[in-house]
Structure 1
Amino acid sequence: MAETTIVLYLFKRLHQLGIRSVHGVPGDYNLVALDNLGDAGLNWVGNCNELNAGYAADGYARIKGISALITTFGVGELSALAAVAGSYSERVPVVHIVGTPSTISQRQGALLHHTLGNGDFSVFANMSRNISSLLVNLNDPTTAARDIDRALRECYVSAQPIYIALPTDMVLRKISAQGLETPINMELLENDPHVERDVIENITKMVYAANNAIILVDSCAIRHRVIDEVHDLIDKSQLPAFATPMSKGAIDETNPRFGGVYVGSVSRPDVKEAVECADLIISIGALKSDFNSGGFTYHTSRKSTIELHSDHTKIGYATYPGITMKPVLQKLLSSLDFHKIRHTDSAKSAPPVLKNEEAEKSDSQAITHSWFWPHIGNWLQENDVVITETGTANFGIIETRFPKGVTAISQVLWGSIGYSVGACQGAALAIKESDPSRRVILFVGDGSFQLTGNEVSTMIRHGLKPILVIINNEGYTIERMIHGEDAEYNDIQPWKHTKLLETFGAKEGEYSNHVVKTREDVDNLFKKGNEFSKADKIQLVELFMPKLDAPRALKITGKMSEKLNAKTE
């Protein structure tokens, strides 16, 4: 019987899942494992630190569907936990592999470096337990292959991180290679047919009875891979469809049935009215966090809502545990008589145009959020990848109309500042591996950039070519909108951003810098067909905005957050 090693079995399984690059930082408990990456067809990224590596793995997974992160025991893995927790929160499948001390040292309770000095080698894994869908320790060669397959399936199906501990003395232990001949079964478990039949029947009755039904798509529709079914449902039903901030880009925004982004009371008035006046809402993959729901201001009726989730279904006040949305959607698509669905007159010809009201009434050259975000949509092109940072960019992008096929990456729920720079590196690497013709564009504030800006060095190292738009507005504007407009703690030390690409080692002719201070500058730079727009090298744009200017949605949500934070009862 053919044999392999535990580490090669693991790495070859990652390769079978479509992973080609592994993020992380080397440490003495993972070095021998790293020696084997090439033999499995995997490339090593080598990030500036583990936190950046975790953010990058998150961004890579949002493009490729799954990713891998390798850290070392204790100091390395703990440095990555804020990023892994974000992936858990936002439902992103990341395989976190931790090189640990040998099983011999662990049994002896040896006083090793990177430990707490108390002989407890489980303490760090336990810290990851609540931010991992599954935790396995590859300390037994007789079960290692089975544990790897079980963990990888869980990561993919749950769309959340898993934790794999790999002791140094287990890395090269021999095991059977037979399992590698059969792909891991990633199929979902079937719904209970009797309960599912009842669910389909009840949904069908509500859809046929509705006079003004709409579809509301949220982030878990993306994470649990039902976007194809969603598009089919929109096209066949011809019902108006709306996204949320976390699902921005999930719906083709050039589709005549696309109605806009619903954010509760923070929505544009026409969107708010269309959603809240509907007599039936088909909600797919909802994740009603505060920033995703306009500060919990959905004004919709539970009685008139069908909620499809990855692990349950709700119809009005009834809940059906274990009835998952993918098979339900597939059966609805094959069983519904779409001629029986009633329609309103709205959204029949083309998506509503996002009016740039400020541009129409102001002669100012200042680049404000209300002017910039609707404006930049005219420059974006099909299949772009747009990454926005927690802060003004996340809220501003709501007002941008996307061309077809744009992928949006953000972190609305976890909201860790600095996330987007690492995520940009991971997404850009995934794009380089899969479709280099796609542009990758990052919008990040100057405050957030200071947390993880050194990851631009990794982008340069791997020949990645994103467009990095740094919004220079003198600090933490999202915090200013919540509390402390002029507080010193929301200020930062100004950086010379246009010196950074050179400082990080970009070679002459392989990068460019641009400074944008006026609306005329924006129009001149963000012009379709020019050299800048070709995105054939890494480019940095320093874009100046007023210190206290913010997108409309952030101004409203910031005040809601301040009131919520101040509540005492």
Structure 2
Amino acid sequence: MATKATTIPLAQHIFSRLHQLNCHSIHGVPGDYTLRALDFLSASNIRWIGNANELCAGYAADGYARAAGMARLTTAAGPHKALTPRVGSLYTTYGVGELSAINAVAGSYAESVPVVHMVGSPSRKQWKTGACVHHSLSDGNLGVYTEMAKHITCAQADLRCDEAQEAARIYDHALEQCVRQSKPVYVNMPSDIVSAPVPAALLDRPLDLSRPTNNAAEEEQVISTILCRIQAAENPLIIADGLSYPFDFIAEVNTIVQSTNIPTMCYNAGKGVVDESLPSWEGPLTGQTELSATTDLALLFGPLLSDTNTAAWSAIPDPGICISFGLDTITVGHRVYHLHSKPLLEKLAGRLKAMGREQGRPKDQISHDPIRSPPHGSAICQDDFWARMSAWLKPYDTQLLANGTPLIGGRDLRLPTPTQVIASGIWCSIGQMLPAAQGVAAAKRDLAIPGRTILFEGDGSFQVTCQALSDIIRYRLDVTTFLLNNGGYAYERWLNGMEAEYNDVPAWQYTEVAHFFGAPTNSSDYPVISRKVSTWAELEDVLADEGIAEGRGLKMIEIAMAVDDVPSASRPGLKRAGEILRAT
């Protein structure tokens, strides 16, 4: 019997720690500063997903981390001793590689997604001498990129250590911060240290992911204050938002909604947080409504109060009547408490559940209008498209809404339970969601997460990161894409330049792209279907096709729409945003 090694290379320690955090795949593009470390992937039980470019790798790592939280959507509220470990990761080379990914990493920071960005860099000797190495700025300042990363990561692990064991300790601490703060971290890995030995027993020491605790007296005071405010409110309102996903508020928010029967809405990024079959569900908050205008208490869970997420801030209630729950702050009116929301929400949800439903304002069951059936020969329009797609969705699906018309149209989907929606609340980077879908699909495969990966993509977004489709095909990932082709940037047209040439995009043959990128033909192991539809009859045929509905393999459905077609409900907000744009 072979004896267990007492030491392992530092790179194996680095990769094995990721596996312990439920990250079983690393995304990236190889470069000469990363090659030595990559040799230790197989010993760490980690899969390498080689992407077409580093930007796609960054978006994919973001999607991977978001999808890894899907399994928690059905978890009942209750105390847990440790934080749920789930991260995404990417490995890029120094300078040119990491800067190609920096857009994606910044987006993960803005939207609180835990991503580990590892960077293979020059040797420690070259760092010390300020050598004029390739991919540097030729000025001897090799640390300039690390300085950039400080602004978009919550911790930076610099492994330029004399002792590899100290490097392992620094790295482990960064991983703990990544999970605790739900933000990206940056790891500088000099190429000559990755093969240095460290004790294998270091991996037996669990990372410190213990749940943060609150001051018991202050926590009880805040809970009592919140309960009193809820009891006194005549017109309370719950608003769920997208940071409820990374902050792990899903179970508690749904318990509170069910226990109080308080009318509930969401901002764009909060789609899918709340069970939409509940009688208190009112739909998305896309501007000031009668409910938001008349409320005397607004409970905001995981809010991200950006202009794009709140209809140019018009959907934000008066701060004086708001109670907001962030990761480690709770704001009651104008007073901020530095408390961790998760443990407090567990207790608050338990209290409200014990008090019963009559605690909130009673509300009749919502009666949704039936889905309208347009004439089969008519053109497909945004308003009816999202209603029709709602009936096609299934529990456990993950829907990704591309930044553009899918982002604003997808909020009108009527979702099954449980489900997950990935929608940008502030970063809104064009091209994000196709590679993010690749990351979601990889996480679902790695972690046995049920449900389909469904991307609602725009033609303009697709053209930015279309190479991600080749990554999906290369690794035989299951992704269904509905590509809304309106010949340009419809979202931007409504902001400014409805007829302007700069809002046009080239006309591509989208149904041919999959095979250009190497998709197999007539494969039973990895079925590939590409269709183009322009009428309701053609779309109905697609939706009725079991080969498409099963979600296995690659499905690319191009849907032709008018160049100026955006959901009707979004048009006032877009016009208002355009006016603000031109006035500032």
Provide the TM-score with structure 1 as the length reference: 0.94
Letter in 1 for 2:350: S
Q: What pairs with 1:48-447 in structure 2 (closer than 5 Å)?
A: 48-64=52-68, 65-140=86-161, 141-265=164-288, 272-298=289-315, 300-320=317-337, 322-336=338-352, 337-339=354-356, 341-346=358-363, 348-349=364-365, 351-353=366-368, 365-435=378-448, 437-447=450-460
Letter in 1 for 2:57: A
Confirm whether residue 545 of structure 1 aligns to residue 561 of structure 2: yes
Kindly indicate whether the alpha-carbon contact (under 8 Å) linking 1:460 and 1:506 is maintained by their aligned counterparts in 2: yes
- Provide the rounded CA distance (Å) in 2 between the counterparts of 1:299 and 1:459: 39
Letter in 2 for 1:74: G
Unpaired stretches in structure 2, ≥5 consecutive residues = 69-85
- Provide the rounded CA distance (Å) in 1 between the counterparts of 2:264 and 2:400: 23
Confirm whether residue 456 of structure 1 aligns to residue 479 of structure 2: no
The CA deviation at 1:68 is 0.6
Letter in 2 for 1:542: E
Confirm whether residue 12 of structure 1 aligns to residue 16 of structure 2: yes
- Provide the rounded CA distance (Å) in 1 between the counterparts of 2:565 and 2:35: 48
The CA deviation at 1:356 is 5.3
In structure 1, the residue matched to 2:83 is: none
Letter in 2 for 1:150: H
Kindly indicate whether the alpha-carbon contact (under 8 Å) linking 1:460 and 1:505 is maintained by their aligned counterparts in 2: yes
- Provide the rounded CA distance (Å) in 1 between the counterparts of 2:377 and 2:536: 8
* Residue of structure 2 aligned with 1:480, choices 470, 476, 493: 493
The CA deviation at 1:436 is 6.4
Letter in 2 for 1:67: G
The CA deviation at 1:354 is 5.0
In structure 2, the residue matched to 1:511 is: 528
Alignment deviations for residues 84-127 of structure 1 (CA, whole Å, 9 cap, x no partner): 11111111110000000001011111111111111111001111
The CA deviation at 1:291 is 1.3
* Residue of structure 1 aligned with 2:31, choices 20, 27, 33: 27
Alignment deviations for residues 194-218 of structure 1 (CA, whole Å, 9 cap, x no partner): 3222211211211222233232111
The CA deviation at 1:340 is 8.1
Kindly indicate whether the alpha-carbon contact (under 8 Å) linking 1:411 and 1:419 is maintained by their aligned counterparts in 2: no
Alignment deviations for residues 351-382 of structure 1 (CA, whole Å, 9 cap, x no partner): 4415657x57x887111101111111011111
The CA deviation at 1:236 is 2.5
Q: Percent identity?
A: 34
Kindly indicate whether the alpha-carbon contact (under 8 Å) linking 1:26 and 1:46 is maintained by their aligned counterparts in 2: yes
Letter in 1 for 2:19: H
Kindly indicate whether the alpha-carbon contact (under 8 Å) linking 1:276 and 1:299 is maintained by their aligned counterparts in 2: no
Helix, strand or coil for the counterpart of 1:526? helix
- Provide the rounded CA distance (Å) in 1 between the counterparts of 2:50 and 2:223: 49
Confirm whether residue 45 of structure 1 aligns to residue 49 of structure 2: yes
Kindly indicate whether the alpha-carbon contact (under 8 Å) linking 2:398 and 2:419 is maintained by their aligned counterparts in 1: yes
Helix, strand or coil for the counterpart of 2:57? helix
Unpaired stretches in structure 1, ≥5 consecutive residues = 266-271
In structure 2, the residue matched to 1:268 is: none
- Provide the rounded CA distance (Å) in 2 between the counterparts of 1:315 and 1:259: 24
Helix, strand or coil for the counterpart of 1:99? strand
Deviates more, 1:334-343 or 1:515-524: 334-343
Helix, strand or coil for the counterpart of 1:143? helix
Letter in 2 for 1:149: D
The CA deviation at 1:520 is 1.4
Q: RMSD of the TM alignment (CA)? A: 1.9
The CA deviation at 1:253 is 1.3
Alignment deviations for residues 294-333 of structure 1 (CA, whole Å, 9 cap, x no partner): 110035233322111112111122221x212111111213
- Provide the rounded CA distance (Å) in 2 between the counterparts of 1:344 and 1:328: 23
Letter in 2 for 1:511: V
Change (3 A) 1:106 1:564: same
Alignment deviations for residues 132-160 of structure 1 (CA, whole Å, 9 cap, x no partner): 11111111124212211210111111111
Kindly indicate whether the alpha-carbon contact (under 8 Å) linking 1:354 and 1:401 is maintained by their aligned counterparts in 2: no
Alignment deviations for residues 16-51 of structure 1 (CA, whole Å, 9 cap, x no partner): 001111000000000111111111100000000000
Helix, strand or coil for the counterpart of 2:208? coil
The CA deviation at 1:437 is 4.9
Letter in 2 for 1:137: D
Alignment deviations for residues 41-70 of structure 1 (CA, whole Å, 9 cap, x no partner): 000000000001101111111011311100
Letter in 2 for 1:75: V
- Provide the rounded CA distance (Å) in 2 between the counterparts of 1:60 and 1:522: 30
The CA deviation at 1:238 is 2.9
Letter in 2 for 1:61: A
Letter in 2 for 1:537: G
Letter in 2 for 1:238: N
The CA deviation at 1:263 is 2.5
The CA deviation at 1:409 is 1.1
- Provide the rounded CA distance (Å) in 2 between the counterparts of 1:160 and 1:446: 30
Alignment deviations for residues 229-283 of structure 1 (CA, whole Å, 9 cap, x no partner): 1122222233332222101011111222322111323xxxxxx223332332221
- Provide the rounded CA distance (Å) in 1 between the counterparts of 2:316 and 2:134: 55
- Provide the rounded CA distance (Å) in 2 between the counterparts of 1:3 and 1:523: 60
Helix, strand or coil for the counterpart of 1:45? strand
Deviates more, 1:226-235 or 1:7-16: 226-235
Kindly indicate whether the alpha-carbon contact (under 8 Å) linking 2:460 and 2:505 is maintained by their aligned counterparts in 1: yes
Runs of 4+ in 1 over 6 A off after TM superposition: none
Kindly indicate whether the alpha-carbon contact (under 8 Å) linking 1:157 and 1:224 is maintained by their aligned counterparts in 2: no
Letter in 1 for 2:445: K
Change (3 A) 1:468 1:335: closer
Letter in 2 for 1:102: S
Change (3 A) 1:438 1:340: closer
- Provide the rounded CA distance (Å) in 2 between the counterparts of 1:148 and 1:502: 41
Kindly indicate whether the alpha-carbon contact (under 8 Å) linking 1:55 and 1:419 is maintained by their aligned counterparts in 2: yes
Deviates more, 1:212-221 or 1:414-423: 212-221
Helix, strand or coil for the counterpart of 1:125? helix
In structure 1, the residue matched to 2:506 is: 493
- Provide the rounded CA distance (Å) in 1 between the counterparts of 2:357 and 2:539: 48
Letter in 2 for 1:60: Y
In structure 2, the residue matched to 1:269 is: none
- Provide the rounded CA distance (Å) in 2 between the counterparts of 1:53 and 1:104: 29
- Provide the rounded CA distance (Å) in 1 between the counterparts of 2:445 and 2:100: 27
Letter in 2 for 1:301: D
- Provide the rounded CA distance (Å) in 2 between the counterparts of 1:153 and 1:122: 24
